[in-house]
């Protein structure tokens, strides 16, 4: 495949960025999107140019490090992570636009790499349980109803990639935060911090400069793990409940 | 609790949802009452007079009406203030646009802000036109039937009203469903019901309100 890439290039956080155009040839449809970028970077390095910086780690769809907006869609045209997106989703001769996540709370570090540490601070604000853990407990010691276990698993799938923020017209982190709040909130192990968790995590989310939810639904469409929009509804319910109980 | 709510994006949205639902409930009643215009001037004017006597003898003449007005003004102020503050925050949270643009979300969703502004401006005009009569040439207090017919006998009266009612339909379509999510009432199993209800409310309100100017325009009401 022969492709034209228009890639966001930005030297550092302070510099102005712009789209740069590159041609790549000899791309196999079986390559992942990141392998295609590796091919481009090899050529750039051979030419003595600065390779395109982008985030990646596991390359198997579980770590949440990869993060590209491809032709206006977070993680590109398929509902998966960029590392699991294959070039067969594109046509020979296509022009592809590649941009970083855009949100005030996710400043660009270089090229396509953004700083997502705001997510870490939201987790620090309440995305944990306070019970001492240690080795795995006996599985039947704390019974968990099946529907609750299913709901917890569904929300636990969030890999913290930030596609929801990138897709949201308000740069809101509601889907991510709600996935974390609900994941722990429905389990008996997370019950002691049920109220403080949602209040503290939402407060941190606001403090980081994320926007608010207007129920546009773009986040849930972009989420590679299928976290549902109703996750936000559930967090809203938890929040109002906790605010009523708070003294 | 009030502080927790008003100082967070989630809580402020809950204030918008509650104030929006209060206005929505009022509008359903208002629309229904308006339809009495099709039964002639005596029925309509008598209905308008009755509105001022609700709750008598416990409530004095017009007291109930004033209670309703105070609640509505509070709802409008809370709703518009929260809308303004949240919108400013949302725009700040997303300062850089994508170079590769594509339409995001549905039409009703994207028009909430401008639609809301149109509704706010309409509200001011509507009160000056049919409540106080300030912008209404030849306004006769106590004769609402005559005043309504006069308003809808002008092209601008009709134009302003029709535009506002379309904006209302779109606003309610996304607004009602959104309020259910904001207040935590939505779920996967209940979604079809909520979407249907939102569409139905939007349609019934828009058609019900528009029936009055259409009635005047077609000569059914004169
Ligand atoms: C003063 C004029 C108004 C303004 C400036 C305004 C503005 C807004 C804005 C900006 C939103 C949020 C949009 C979003 O989340 O995408 C909204 C939501 C809403 N509006 Fe209005 N609006 C106005 C009048 C009304 C009226 C008259 C009603 C009653 C039918 C109404 C009912 C609602 C409802 C139910 C919501 C949903 C709240 C939620 O998402 O939880 N609004 N409005
Ligand atoms: S909710 Fe989905 S899109 Fe958002 S961070 Fe988690 S996995 Fe990524
Ligand atoms: S690189 Fe780990 S999810 Fe894509």
DSSP A80-136: S-GGG-BGGGS-TT-EEEEE----TTS-EEETTEE--HHHHHHHHTTSS--S---SP
Flag if A235 and B182 touch (Cβ within 8 Å). no
Q: Above pLDDT 70, what percent of chain B?
A: 100
- The CB of B205 under 6 Å from ligand 1? The reply is no
Task: Tell me the per-residue pLDDT of B8-63, one tens digit each, with 9 for 90 and over.
Answer: 999 999 999 999 999 999 999 999 999 999 999 999 999 999 999 999 999 999 99
Q: Chain A residues with CB inside 8 Å of B10's CB? A: 202, 212-213, 235-236, 239-240
| pLDDT score recorded for residue A132 | 80
Query: Domains (ranges, CATH) in chain A?
Result: 3-110 (3.10.20.30), 117-245 (1.10.1060.10)
**A56-70, B98-112, B168-182 — which is least confidently predicted?**
B98-112
- pLDDT averaged over every residue in chain A: 96
Determine the average pLDDT of the residues in A63-81: 97
Flag if A211 and B94 touch (Cβ within 8 Å). yes
- Using an 8 Å Cβ cutoff, are A30 and A88 in contact? yes
- Using an 8 Å Cβ cutoff, are A152 and A57 in contact? no
Confidence of residue A138 (pLDDT cuts 50, 70, 90): confident
Atom of ligand 3 nearest to the CA of A161: 3
A135 or B214, greater pLDDT: B214
* 3-class SS of residue A9: strand
Expressed in angstroms, the distance from the first to the final Cα of chain A is 63
Flag if A236 and B13 touch (Cβ within 8 Å). yes
Query: What is the Cβ-side half-sphere exposure of residue B130, based on CA atoms within 13 angstroms?
Result: 16
d(CA A122, CA A10): 27
Confidence of residue A134 (pLDDT cuts 50, 70, 90): confident
Query: Domains (ranges, CATH) in chain B?
Result: 2-218 (1.20.1300)
> Shortest Cα distance from A4 to chain B (angstroms)?
14
- The CB of B16 under 6 Å from ligand 1? The reply is yes
Q: Is A213 on the interface with B (CB under 8 A)?
A: yes
Q: What would the two tokens of residue B15 be?
A: 């204030």
Determine the average pLDDT of the residues in A192-213: 97
Confidence of residue A247 (pLDDT cuts 50, 70, 90): low
DSSP B145-169: HHHHHHHTTSHHHHHHHHHHHHHHH
Best of B15, B93, B119 for a ligand 1 pocket test (most atoms within 8 Å of beta carbon)? B119
Flag if A212 and B99 touch (Cβ within 8 Å). no
Determine the average pLDDT of the residues in A203-225: 96
A247 or A205, greater pLDDT: A205
Determine the average pLDDT of the residues in A53-60: 97
Determine the average pLDDT of the residues in A78-98: 97
- The CB of A127 under 6 Å from ligand 2? The reply is no
Determine the average pLDDT of the residues in B87-111: 87
Query: Which residue's CA is the nearest one to ligand 2's atom 8?
Result: A161
Task: Tell me the per-residue pLDDT of B79-97, one tens digit each, with 9 for 90 and over.
Answer: 999 999 999 999 999 999 9
Flag if B181 and A233 touch (Cβ within 8 Å). yes
Selecting from B5, B101, B182 the residue whose C-beta is nearest the C-beta of A72 gives B101
- Using an 8 Å Cβ cutoff, are A212 and B89 in contact? yes
Flag if A97 and B184 touch (Cβ within 8 Å). no
Query: What is the Cβ-side half-sphere exposure of residue A188, based on CA atoms within 13 angstroms?
Result: 8
d(CA B145, CA B168): 23
> Shortest Cα distance from B112 to chain A (angstroms)?
9
Q: Chain B residues with CB inside 8 Å of A103's CB? A: 93-94
Beta strand A69-70 with A95-99: parallel, antiparallel or unpaired?
Answer: antiparallel
d(CA A224, CA A82): 9
User: Is residue A133 over pLDDT 80?
Assistant: no
Burial class (CB in 10 A: 0-12, 13-18, 19+), B110: middle
Its ipTM equals: 0.92
Burial class (CB in 10 A: 0-12, 13-18, 19+), B82: buried
User: Is residue B103 over pLDDT 80?
Assistant: no
- Using an 8 Å Cβ cutoff, are A18 and A33 in contact? no
| pLDDT score recorded for residue B21 | 98
Q: What is the dihedral of CA A133, A135, A141, A146, to 10 degrees?
A: 80
């Amino acid at each position: 495949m022969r492709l034209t890439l228009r890639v966001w290039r930005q030297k550092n956080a302070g510099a102005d960025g712009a789209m740069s155009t590159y041609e790549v040839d000899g791309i196999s449809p079986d390559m992942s999107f990141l392998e295609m970028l590796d091919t481009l970077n090899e050529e750039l390095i051979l030419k003595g140019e600065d390779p395109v910086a982008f985030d990646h780690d596991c390359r198997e769809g579980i770590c949440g490090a990869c993060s590209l907006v491809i032709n206006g869609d977070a993680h590109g045209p398929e509902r998966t992570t960029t590392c699991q997106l294959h070039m067969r989703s594109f046509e020979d001769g296509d022009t592809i636009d590649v941009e970083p996540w855009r949100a005030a709370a996710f400043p660009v570090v270089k090229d396509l790499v953004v700083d997502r540490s705001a997510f870490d601070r939201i987790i620090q604000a309440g995305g944990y349980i306070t019970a001492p853990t240690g080795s795995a407990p006996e599985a039947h010691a704390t019974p968990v109803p099946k529907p609750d276990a299913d709901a917890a698993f569904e929300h636990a799938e969030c890999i913290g990639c930030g596609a929801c923020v990138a897709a949201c017209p308000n740069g809101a982190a509601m889907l991510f935060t709600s996935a974390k709040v609900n994941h722990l909130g429905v389990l008996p192990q997370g019950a002691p911090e049920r109220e403080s968790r949602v209040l503290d995590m939402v407060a941190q989310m606001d403090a980081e400069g994320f926007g608010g939810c207007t129920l546009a639904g773009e986040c849930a469409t972009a989420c590679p793990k299928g976290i549902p929009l109703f996750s936000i509804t559930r967090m809203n319910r938890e929040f109002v409940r906790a605010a009523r109980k708070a003294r | 609790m009030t502080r927790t709510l008003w100082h967070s994006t989630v809580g402020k949205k809950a204030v918008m949802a509650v104030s929006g639902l209060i206005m929505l409930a009022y509008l359903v009643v208002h629309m229904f009452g308006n339809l009495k215009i099709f039964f002639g001037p005596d029925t309509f004017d008598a209905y308008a007079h009755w509105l001022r006597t609700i709750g008598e003898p416990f409530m004095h003449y017009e007291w109930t009406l004033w209670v309703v007005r105070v609640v509505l003004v509070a709802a409008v102020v809370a709703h518009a203030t929260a809308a303004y503050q949240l919108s400013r925050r949302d725009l700040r949270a997303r300062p850089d646009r994508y170079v590769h643009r594509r339409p995001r979300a549905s039409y009703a969703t994207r028009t909430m802000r401008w639609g809301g502004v149109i509704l706010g401006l309409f509200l001011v005009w509507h009160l000056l036109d049919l409540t106080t009569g300030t912008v209404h040439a030849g306004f006769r207090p106590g004769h609402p039937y005559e005043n309504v017919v006069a308003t809808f006998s002008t092209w601008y009266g009709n134009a302003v009203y029709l535009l506002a009612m379309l904006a209302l339909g779109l606003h309610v379509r996304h607004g009602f469903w959104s309020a259910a999510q904001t207040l935590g009432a939505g779920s996967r199993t209940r979604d079809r019901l909520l979407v249907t209800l939102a569409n139905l409310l939007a349609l019934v309100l828009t058609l019900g309100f528009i029936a009055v100017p259409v009635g005047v325009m077609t000569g059914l009401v004169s």
